[in-house]
Amino acid sequence: MPLLIRLLLAAGAGGVLYTAFPTLDLWFLAPVGIALLTAACAGAGPAIGALLGFVAGMVFFVPTLEWSGIYVGMLPWIALSVLQSLYIAVLGLLLTLTRHPVLMTPLAWVVSELLRSTTPFGGFPWVRIAFSQADSPLATWASVAGAPGVTFAVAVVGASLYAVARLIRDLRLREHPAAAATTSQARRNGGNGSGGVGWVATAATLGAASVMVAGGFLIPRPSDGTPVPIAMIQGNVPRPGLDFNAERRAVLDNHVRGTELAAAEVGEVRPDDLSLVIWPENSSDIDPFRNADAAAVIQEAVTAANAPILVGAVVERSRTTVANVAPLFRPGGPTTEAEVEQYVKQHPVPFAEYIPYRNFFRMLSSKVDLVPRDFVAGDEPVVFDLEAASTAYTAVPTICFEVAYDGLMRDVLAAAEDRPSILVVQTNNATFGYSAEAEQQFAISRIRAIEHGRSVAHVSTVGVSGFIAPDGSTTEVTGLFTARQLIDTPVVRTGVTISDRLGRLPEILASAGVLLLLGRHAIRRRRRGIVLAPARRPEESAREQI
């Protein structure tokens, strides 16, 4: 296949994958994008495969992550896109190192996402294939094998599309003896040749794809549980951008006002008391433990709601550090930092909440000084015990980008043990303007609901906010940069999903599968080299010795 055609296929793959994610939400095109990349790489050499993967990655990540450069310029945006594309380059390389790319494709996608979700600086697990599938039946596989399982299922379907297309092409080649002979010779000379697909590999891929699709419809998604009354407050900010909280008191007052409105609404339409009010991340960037005025207005809101309020606060830790904290203020409860229950964000975002190797990166961009004080990380998950009229339950908090990290989400849910629980995601999307970032994050929370069989209360300072049922469905979802109060009765549940039990095992198995295919490829190449090596006659060996 000419290189130009391969490059066009790779670019097309990246473009199609972009359309699968919010806000376009053409999730059913994700397998098509995967099939196009497989077609581009099949039969190519390793260097070309890496180039094709990188091209597909750039076409995919540059528009998908455009929100990362809205207020800080192109350099961070393009740098992030390049870094993420390198992992797709590794994927493209892997697709060239096997005789049957249809078998490598789903395994390589899982492994490449594992790598970019963990490296460097803890990784960046955004816009993984799984997170495009919140509306897809394949999202059901999250409850079995987590987000990696959903990515695997989508990639299996994509590989099957490629296999069928390739098989049809091979059958047509048989009708033209000269072309068929050329293709056969290429395969003998180059191992992969043009990337042909055997009957066995095709049958296996189609069978696996059928299982993936059928399982998506047949595996049950639980939605039962005990309803508990909860309110979420989307208070809004004076303006979008990096200075969204320049008027910090205005943001805090917005959330106090929203809480008072929610309390009045509950009093009018529902007799049951609220069991919890949730404010988003950065709802109080005035440290409530060191500023009496902030503490006072928060207590006013607690009194108005007559319910615990989970606040999103920035709390001073030292002269040079702060922490992203979710403190729970209860009616009549303590107000000092030492006594208030609180969760501290465990995974601060590099280059957004702290700057690694600050002096070095300052030489590349002065934008690093937009983060004047580094956020320090919490060291453990925390759960909050709450009481509703119907049951006692626990709220399991996470903050912002933490929702994208598989292991962290498993750990915080495990902290709830066997008690009825609800997952809470507090976030702030004001720094990303009117972009797709907020909807991309909300889609991740929907996958988490299915994965763990839990309701999710996802609340943003400016939107998108909404309650998500354990089956991934939603009711009202708020728009961007509006003030809104959401009051509902999400269900709390117990139980452990298969995904919770398996943990990282699906990724381990995928990694082992990749290594097995690479090993078989290496052995095959070695054997071919031995067979193709010219035999020497005894007299030739004797002459060489002389």
CA distances from 478 to 398, 433, 483 (A): 20, 15, 9
Beta carbons within 8 Å of 469's beta carbon, 6+ residues apart = 223, 449, 455, 490, 491
Amino acid identity, residue 123? G
- DSSP 3-state helix, strand, coil percentages of the chain (rounded to 5)? 55, 15, 35
> CA angle at residue 317 from 76 to 329, to 5 degrees?
105
Catalytic residue selected from 113, 281, 353, 451: 281
Residues 105 and 97 sit within 8 Å (Cβ to Cβ): no
CA 159 from centroid of its chain's CA atoms: 22
d(CA 361, CA 260): 45
d(CA 17, CA 56): 9
Query: Reduced to 3 states, what is the DSSP secondary structure of residue 316?
Result: strand
What letter would DSSP give residue 206?
Answer: H
Q: How many CA atoms lie within 13 A of 251 on its CB side?
A: 30
| For helices 199-218 and 101-116, angle between their N-to-C axes, nearest 10 degrees | 50
d(CA 284, CA 247): 11
Catalytic residue selected from 41, 345, 402, 451: 345
What letter would DSSP give residue 403?
Answer: G
Is 367 an active-site residue?
A: no
Residues 380 and 346 sit within 8 Å (Cβ to Cβ): yes
Quick one: which of 433, 478, 435, 476 has its CA closest to 460? 478
- Is 319 exposed, middle or buried (CB count within 10 Å of its CB: 0-12, 13-18, 19+)? exposed
Q: Which pair of tokens denotes residue 541?
A: 């060996």
What does the buried/exposed string (b/e) look like for 440-458 if buried means 16 or more CB atoms within 10 Å of the residue's CB? Answer: bbbbbbbbbbbbbbbbbbb
Catalytic residue selected from 400, 402, 439, 451: 400
Q: Which pair of tokens denotes residue 33?
A: 């994008």
Residues that are catalytic: 281, 345, 400
